[in-house]
Structure 1
């Protein structure tokens, strides 16, 4: 039993790093400079905090008022509304010629599996700024992930990395607005 303890500790550390936020203690909280209060209600406060009051890249800080816990979010998180924080998971890098970026990003994704069991390797190849030659319509602006099929863009799923990887469907995609995939973190689930 004891010989497996180091593996269990490593597994716990690996799983703990999977969240885009971390719980901070009172000492760490005191080291932050609060710049702005974004949300304040009976359950929590969402603050913008940085290393100094002039920090140009502040982070979100959530303080739960009932349990008195504080959570510091990564830089790739932003407040969506008073209940939800967006964690951007996949940002597709565009080249210097962003001709095809029209209120979003077109891309071609090819899902592949290489090798044989038990040595299989699964992955995705991306061609960003790739769009179908036959597309000449207006791009959608409604949030979501769109799949090109039959000369139409069909709302495929929510705009999340998880849904994109679950589908494993090769082809052209359009991701509107800022062209990023994200996951939602609901503040009710922090405690």
Structure 2
């Protein structure tokens, strides 16, 4: 093979290798389109009642990154009984549930997410009826005044996560329950005589 032809072939090969490297670098740097994404990048406006005050940064920590996510909210309204239930799934598995329920004040909050395997249960400062575990939190806030008819109500909130533990999960679920309680008071307590803050 003569020298000019060899130089031309080597030049073409060098250009092809540089181009292939550039394309490969772009694809690698641009990220894999099949890589899991944050919850806020996959789904927005999920459970607009129950999660109304919960910031997306908090949801992004509690809800694992995924390829696809779904959310469903059920809300029912009746006199002295306003309830909102939110469930979030990622890649087909439920990972978060937030319940807001208005009940008679004599009602005791459900403690799902406590007991063996859930870690030590602690109270939440500032809430008389409250608890938190490694993967759940629940609390109640007074809603309507007791008028002597035994019809005083409270808003009961529970946030529970099914996911791999991380250092601040308990605190994140407590914060989520507190935010949901504020929303619950706005929804439920307007139906009767609210308890002053």
**Structure with more strand by fraction:** 1
TM normalised by structure 1 equals 0.22
**Structure with more helix by fraction:** 2
Whose radius of gyration is greater, 1 or 2?
Answer: 2
